[in-house]
Every structure is written in structure tokens, then in C-alpha cells.
Amino acid sequence: MPAPFSHDCQAGTTATASDSPLPNVAAALAKHKKIKILAIGASASAGRGARHGGYTGEARQILRQAIKGLDVEMINRGISGELATQAAARIKNEVALLEPDMVLWQVGTNDALAYVPIEDLKATVVDTLTWLKEHKIDTVLVGLQYIDRMEQDEHYRKVRDMLRDVAAKENVLIVRRYEAQRLLSQAAVSGGGLFPDEFQRTEAGYTCLAQYMARAITLGIFGPGGLGPRSAPPAIGPQPQQPPSAPPTRM
Amino acid sequence: MVRQANAVDFWRGLALVFIFINHIPGIYYGRFTHANYSLSDSADLFVFLAGWALRLMVGTPERRQSTWYLVLRLGGRAITLYAAQILITMIALAVLAGCAILLDNPLLLEWHNAAAVFHDPVTTHVGLALITHQLGYFDILPLYVVLMLMAPIIAIIDRYIPQTLLPISLLFYLATLLIPIPFRTWPVEGLWFFNPLAWQLIFVLGFVMAREDGLGGFVRRHIVPIRWISVPIVLAGVAFMLSGWWPDPTKFPRPRLLFLIDKTYDTPPRLIQFLALIALMSATYPYILRASKMLVNFLSMLGRNSLYVFCVGSILSLAGQIVRHIYQGNLLIDTAVVISGIAIMALTAWLPEWREDVRVRRGTAAAQPS
């Protein structure tokens, strides 16, 4: 069973994750009933309940509930403020030390804020994804957030698009919270939102992110039809109508 | 009277300027700091020189202070560093929160590990007070606080059984890497950016090498061959940084931490490269002094007031990041950020020296017969 969404997060479930398999995680699950996830990124443990592991801790709980008998070890090695190029070097070291089945990489925000050239960032991400694949480690990328203010920032949009393109080309799963948060935001503008203030929405976004992530991982392991063979694209939660102003999603 | 310009203050001043620049990721001038060409960076230099400065505080065997006085003095220094860490963290949080409101951009609240402070304030404030929650780039002082808490033990061992100090330090370092012994952050799960049990070695090395006898004496006597050995090590570091080539870390034998290039544990390749680098660079100081006394005086002034300058520099780095974000980082903005930042750091260093100078002159004038 794919992990469920809470009511609050259903507004933003359209295309929150791509359809990409997690064969190494599935193999680890079948073999040991245990998966080891290495979380790398600026705010790997952000969100409410930092002492319980933040959103990655929430995702671990959801996964344990969704997959009976599953033991999930989530190791947070987020270093705040670091750029992708530094994170990439660290991923290789941490993989050598911890030997995870999957890397959860929240990438792009710091590079977008620091105006790192898109091509440099792209080269770093592609190189790291290739290296992880060669070492039989699955990757889940966590994309950029939706922030009203950053909509005007061309570089920020370019980073977001680049990450989606790279994920599609490399067949890597990406949790697209940008789209999800934008829908939450648009619902708020039209008076139907649960979080009228953007600051609250950003915070609530982490709760939803945990759910999207857990959902994406279960789909990545089992495919959209539960434990059966993967055949059709996944239907990730309820599919509300896409607002007319929203550009088509790319994946 | 302020100290005359000297090599230790000069290199410390340079480390402070490089730390300020390196803590603004993406800035154009970052390419001119040695972090781009060396396995080690300014943090290693800063901690090594902190150990060197500890020697000056502890004094020479001929000018001993009482053990209790020394313990209290070093403990007091640790409290000063702790207070500085709390102060700059609170200012940084206020800067992030204020800019998030002014720019209507909640993304800034999540920068540099600040998210937990705003989203889970009850627990995270305990972590801030315990310095187990550290903002990004505000993580050197917590290391320094722990090192200074260790300093009385280091000083006592050095006083009574000096020949055991470095072996004990090395033993702790190796145990930390081999077991490994992590230093965990709380409440946000993760590791300290600088593991104090690993970084104490470089601190102790600074402390030991500042001494004229023992290892310090050996290095001074054999500095020429040491420099020759250092040349290929430093060049190999440059080649690695420029080419990016390093053996696949998953192919190393265990325990792998011994072979990785890792900052958190200040692993052996990094540490050895750093020692080689300072052996070489120490030769350049007389030439720099001859070429530009003004530069030496300027950086020495920063180095003499390193805690003030470091604190102000940390806030300036954060401000620089925000300015770059607002103006979308270009060469003009980067130049303005670096020039104004270094100017403010210089003002920060100059003010206490000027105040001291006025105090001394007034004291002298008052002492003169009218």
C-alpha cells in the first residue's frame, strides 16, 4: 500500500513525485527487511518536532506504518549552508562510511540563493547521481520549495527546472514539493487554504513533504499497484484539478 | 601597549579574512583563498594558531602561573567564547528573521539550520544554550569552547608530564576516527561540523610546536628538510583540488576514515597536508614583511583582536550572503561586499586598540607631575 496523505496535504498532491523505481531499496527490503537511508541536505531535519528527526523522522514513521515489519534507519547528515559541490563530496564519504541503500538529497536551495551557475550545479548533480548509480545506491531528490517571492527570481526557477530535467533524464525519483506548495498557496489566495500565511505554509510544507516522500518511496519500492509488478504510472494520492494558471508538469 | 606585528598575528589575521570570504558561498573572491588549492583551509590554521595562543596564555616553564590561577583563567576564556557564540547566534537569527519579514521571503528562515529555531523553538532554544544546535557557518566557536574547556587539562599535562601530551592527544584522535566517536547535534539530528575530539589534535599540535623545546624545538632545528618533504605533499594537494581526482572512498580499506578527506574528523590526509602547508608558508613571512609592511601591520591588527574580528566577520558573512541574494550576486556586489566587510573588520580591530591607547596616554599624563 502506498503511504497515505493527511487531509491537510491532499491539496498539493498533484505530481508530487516522479515515477522512478528504487531497485536497491526493494532488494534490501526483500533481503533484510531493513533499509538504511542517508539524508543529506540543507534542512534535512527541518519542520516541527526537530527532536524527533523533523520531516525525515516523520517520513520514517510513516514508512514503518505503511510497510509491515519494515525497519527504517534514517541517518541525517545535513550540513546547513553547504553548496551542492560540497554536499557531493560529502555524499561519497558518507556512503563509504555508512553504506546506505538510498540517499535522500535535498539539493538546490543554497545554490539558488548563492547564484551558483546552473551548468556548474547541473554537472555536480549529474556526476553525483551517476556515481551513486554505479555504487548501486538509489537516490531520491527533494526539489526546491515554492515561495511566492521567489517566483520572480529567474535563477530560482531555472534551478527548479534543471533539477526536474536531470531527475527525468537520470530516471531518479524527485519529490516535487514546489508544485505541491504552489497549490497550497493558490488555495490560500482563493480563500480555501488551511494556511493563510505563507510563513505557516512553509512550515506546514514539511509535514506534507514527509508524507510525499514516504509515498514516493513506497511507490518506488512496490510500484503504483501495491506489491504487484510495475505497469502503469503511479497515481500519487487524490488528483485535484490543476489550476489553469499552473504550467504543465514536466514528468 | 599593543603587540608589535608578528607572524602568528599576521597568519591569524589572514585566516580571519579568508574565513569571512569562504563563509559567503558563491562569492567571486572565494577562488583566491587557499581553500581552493589545499586539502585544509583557514579553519585548520585558526585552530592551530589558537593552540599556539594557548601556549602564550600558559606561559613558559620559566614564567609559571599557579595551577589554580591558570585553570580559572582558561575557564574564564571558555565562558567568554561561549558568550560570544550565543551573542552572534542570536544576532544571526535576528538578521535572518528580520530579512525574511522585510523581503517577505520565508525561505530565509530555513537558511543555515535556522528552521528548527523558528519551527520548533521550545526544544531548539535548549539546544542553542547547550551549543548542540549550531547555525551553518557559526560552528567554529562551539569547537573552540570545547577546546578551551579541555585547555586546563592540556596545560596541566604539559606542566607535569609534557612528553605524554602529544601521545595522549594522538590516542584520542585515533580512537575518535577508528571507533568512530561522533559528536552529535541536538535537537536536530546530525553531527557537529567540527568534531572536537578529532580537532583537539591540531590544537595540541599548535600548543606543542609553540614551545621552543620538544617537538617545537625539533621542527625548528630540522625545518629545511621538513620543508623539502612538504613540497610534494602540498603540490599533490593542489593537483587533487584542481583535478578533483582522489581514489574512490568506497575502495579504501577499513577503517575508511583514516583515508578520507573529511573536515568533520580532520582526517589524516587533511592534517598531514596542513602541517606541510604551514611548514612551507612559514618560510614566506620574512619576504611578505619585506614586500609590504603595511599588509603585515594590517593583518596583524586583525589577528591581535581575533575574537572580536571573528564575531563581527561571522555576522558580516551572513549579511554578505543576504546582500548577494538581494542583488543576485555579481562582480560589483561581490567587490563591495568584500571591501566593506574587511573595512568593518578592520574598524572592529582598531577600536579596542585605540581605546587602549587612549587609556595608556591618559594614565601616563595623570602620572606626570603637574
For residue A141, list its beta bridge partners.
A105, A174
Q: In angstroms, what CA-CA distances link B21 with A29, A41, A98, B334, B358?
A: 45, 22, 32, 10, 32
pLDDT of residue A184: 65
Q: In angstroms, what CA-CA distances link B10 with B81, B201, B300?
A: 21, 23, 4
Residues with Cβ within 8 Å of residue A228, at least 6 apart in sequence: A222
CA distance B52 to B215: 13
pLDDT of residue B117: 92
Measured in whole angstroms, the distance separating CA B99 from the mean position of its chain's CA atoms is 27
Q: Look up residue A95 and give its three cell numbers.
A: 556512503
Report CB contact under 8 Å: A115, B329. yes
Q: Which of residues 91-120 of A touch B (CB under 8 A)?
A: 92-93, 95-97, 109-111, 113-116
Residue B80 has pLDDT above 70, yes or no: yes
- Say if CB A215 and CB A5 are below 8 A apart: yes
Asked if A206 reaches chain B (Cβ–Cβ under 8 Å), the answer is: yes
Closest CA of chain A from B278, distance in Å: 24
In our burial notation (b when 16+ CB lie closer than 10 A, e otherwise), range B207-228 reads bbbbbeeeebeebeeeeeebbe
Report CB contact under 8 Å: A135, B193. no
Mean pLDDT of B254-277: 96
Report CB contact under 8 Å: A54, B252. no
pLDDT of residue A217: 81
Asked if B123 reaches chain A (Cβ–Cβ under 8 Å), the answer is: yes
Residue B56 has pLDDT above 70, yes or no: yes
Residue B225 has pLDDT above 60, yes or no: yes
B188 versus B205: which is more confidently predicted?
Answer: B205
pLDDT digits (tens, 9 = 90+) for B135-155: 999 999 999 999 999 999 999
Q: What value does the mean pLDDT of chain B take?
A: 94
- Name the nearest CA neighbour of A166 among A133, A210, A207, A212: A133
B31 versus A59: which is more confidently predicted?
Answer: B31
My answer on whether omega of the bond before B180 falls inside 30° of 0, hence cis, is yes
For residue A251, list its beta bridge partners.
none
Residue B229 has pLDDT above 50, yes or no: yes
Residue B328 has pLDDT above 50, yes or no: yes
DSSP string, B289-332: HHH-HHHHHHHHHHHHTHHHHHHHHHHHHHHHHHHHHHTT--HH
Contacts of A202 in chain B (CB under 8 A): 106-107, 109-110
AA letter at B244: G
Among A78-82, A104-108, B238-242, B330-334, the range scoring the smallest mean pLDDT is A78-82
CA distance B366 to B360: 10
CA distance B319 to A130: 36
Task: Please tell me which residue of chain A has the smallest CA distance to B245.
Answer: A89
- Name the nearest CA neighbour of A144 among A188, A180, A189: A180
DSSP annotation of A67 reads S
Mean pLDDT of B99-126: 90
B10 versus A145: which is more confidently predicted?
Answer: B10
pLDDT digits (tens, 9 = 90+) for B273-317: 999 999 999 999 999 999 999 999 999 999 999 999 999 999 999
φ/ψ of residue B149, rounded to 5 = -70, -30
pLDDT tens sequence for chain A (251 residues) = 566 666 667 654 444 555 567 889 889 988 888 999 999 976 545 555 555 667 788 888 888 888 777 888 989 888 878 899 999 999 999 999 999 999 999 999 889 989 999 999 999 999 999 999 999 999 999 888 878 888 888 999 999 999 999 999 998 988 877 766 666 666 666 655 545 566 666 666 677 777 877 887 888 887 764 443 333 333 333 333 343 333 333 33
Contacts of A79 in chain B (CB under 8 A): 136, 190, 193
Q: At what angle do helices B223-243 and B268-281 cross, to 10 degrees?
A: 120
Asked if B115 reaches chain A (Cβ–Cβ under 8 Å), the answer is: yes
Q: Which of residues 269-298 of B touch A (CB under 8 A)?
A: none
pLDDT of residue B275: 98
CA distance B228 to B369: 59
Contacts of A54 in chain B (CB under 8 A): 116, 120, 188-189
Q: Which of A97, A127, A160 to mutate to test the interface with B (most CBs of B within 10 A)?
A: A97
Contacts of B262 in chain A (CB under 8 A): 93
Residues with Cβ within 8 Å of residue B309, at least 6 apart in sequence: B13, B16, B302, B345, B348, B349
- Name the nearest CA neighbour of B308 among B245, B356, B254, B242: B356
Q: Is A231 exposed, middle or buried (0-12, 13-18, 19+ CB in 10 A)?
A: exposed
Asked if A134 reaches chain B (Cβ–Cβ under 8 Å), the answer is: no
Give pTM, 2 decimals. 0.89
Report CB contact under 8 Å: A93, B260. yes
Closest CA of chain A from B25, distance in Å: 6
Q: ipTM of this model? A: 0.90
Closest CA of chain B from A104, distance in Å: 14
Task: Please tell me which residue of chain A has the smallest CA distance to B127.
Answer: A51
